[in-house]
Structure 1
Amino acid sequence: MALQARWFVGFGLLALVLVGIQWAVGWSTLLAPWRAIPPTALAFAALLTLGSYAARALRLYDYFLPGTRGGFAACLKLTLLHNLLNNFLPMRTGEVSFPVLMARYFATPLATSLAALLWFRLMDLHALAAVALLAIGGRWLDVGWAGLLTAFWLSLPWWLFQLRPTRALAKFGERLPTRWQERLAGARHGLPQTPTAFWRAWFWTQLNWLVKLAVFAWILRLFAAMPGAAAVMGAIGGDLTSILPVHGIAGAGTYEAGVVAALAPFGVAPTAALTAAVNLHLFMLGLSLVGGALALWLRRDLHATAMLRHG
Structure 2
Amino acid sequence: MPDETSEKSGLKPPLAFGCPNYMKTPMVASRQNWFIRNRMMLLTLAVVVAYAAFIEWFWGWSSILAQWSKVGALPILTALALLTGTYFLRTWRIYDYFPKETTGRFTSLFRVTQVHNLLNIMMPFRTGETSFPVLMRSEFGIPLARGTSALFVMRLLDLHALLTAAGVGLALASPYRALSWIAWAIFLLLPVVGFASRRPLIRLAARTLPKKAQGLVHELERGLPVDISAFARAWLATVVNWLVKVVVLAWALGLMNVTPLSASFGGALGGELSSVLPVHAPGGVGTYPAGITAGAMAFGASSAKAAIENLAQASINAHLLIVVSALTGTAIGLLVGRKRA
Identify the structure with bigger relative contact order (alpha carbons < 8 Å, sequence gap 6+). 1
Listed one character per residue, the Cα deviations across residues 126-178 of structure 1 (whole Å, up to 9, x for unaligned) are: 00011112234211145555544433322111011111x24422342244443
Paired residue type of 2:230: A
* Structure 2: distance between partners of 1:244 and 1:66: 31
Q: CA deviation at 1:3?
A: 8.8
Give the stretch that moved more between structures: 131-140 or 287-296. 131-140
**Counterpart secondary structure, 1:224:** coil
Listed one character per residue, the Cα deviations across residues 99-135 of structure 1 (whole Å, up to 9, x for unaligned) are: 0111122211011011111111100000001111223
1:236 — aligned with what? 269
Alignment RMSD = 2.5
Matched, 1:156 2:194: no
1:196 — aligned with what? 229
Listed one character per residue, the Cα deviations across residues 182-240 of structure 1 (whole Å, up to 9, x for unaligned) are: 11110111112310111010000000000001101111112233122211211121122
Instruction: Describe how 1:70-219 pairs up with structure 2 within 5 A.
Output: 70-141=104-175, 145-163=179-197, 165-219=198-252
CA contact under 8 A between 2:40 and 2:123: conserved in structure 1?
Answer: no
Paired residue type of 2:228: P
Matched, 1:276 2:314: yes
Q: CA deviation at 1:7?
A: 6.3
Give the stretch that moved more between structures: 138-147 or 40-49. 138-147
- Count residues with an aligned counterpart: 301
Matched, 1:296 2:324: no
Paired residue type of 1:104: S
CA contact under 8 A between 2:274 and 2:291: conserved in structure 1?
Answer: yes
Give the stretch that moved more between structures: 182-191 or 136-145. 136-145
* Structure 2: distance between partners of 1:114 and 1:283: 29
Matched, 1:68 2:102: yes
CA contact under 8 A between 1:237 and 1:262: conserved in structure 2?
Answer: yes
The correspondence for 1:48, drawn from 82, 87, 112, is: 82
Paired residue type of 1:47: A
Paired residue type of 2:287: T
The correspondence for 2:254, drawn from 208, 211, 221, is: 221
Q: CA deviation at 1:74?
A: 2.5
The correspondence for 2:323, drawn from 285, 290, 293, is: 285
Identity of aligned residues (%): 36
C-alpha spacing 1:8/1:244, structure 2 compared with 1 (3 Å) = farther
Matched, 1:256 2:289: yes
Larger Rg: 2
Paired residue type of 1:187: L
Q: CA deviation at 1:87?
A: 1.2
**Counterpart secondary structure, 2:337:** coil
Matched, 1:17 2:51: yes
C-alpha spacing 1:32/1:139, structure 2 compared with 1 (3 Å) = same
* Structure 1: distance between partners of 2:47 and 2:171: 34
CA contact under 8 A between 1:115 and 1:187: conserved in structure 2?
Answer: yes
Paired residue type of 1:277: S
Give the stretch that moved more between structures: 93-102 or 261-270. 261-270
* Structure 2: distance between partners of 1:7 and 1:73: 26
Structure 2 length as normaliser, TM-score?
0.80
C-alpha spacing 1:179/1:282, structure 2 compared with 1 (3 Å) = same
Q: CA deviation at 1:297?
A: 1.1
Q: CA deviation at 1:35?
A: 1.6
Paired residue type of 1:119: V
CA contact under 8 A between 2:86 and 2:244: conserved in structure 1?
Answer: yes
C-alpha spacing 1:49/1:72, structure 2 compared with 1 (3 Å) = same
**Counterpart secondary structure, 2:242:** helix
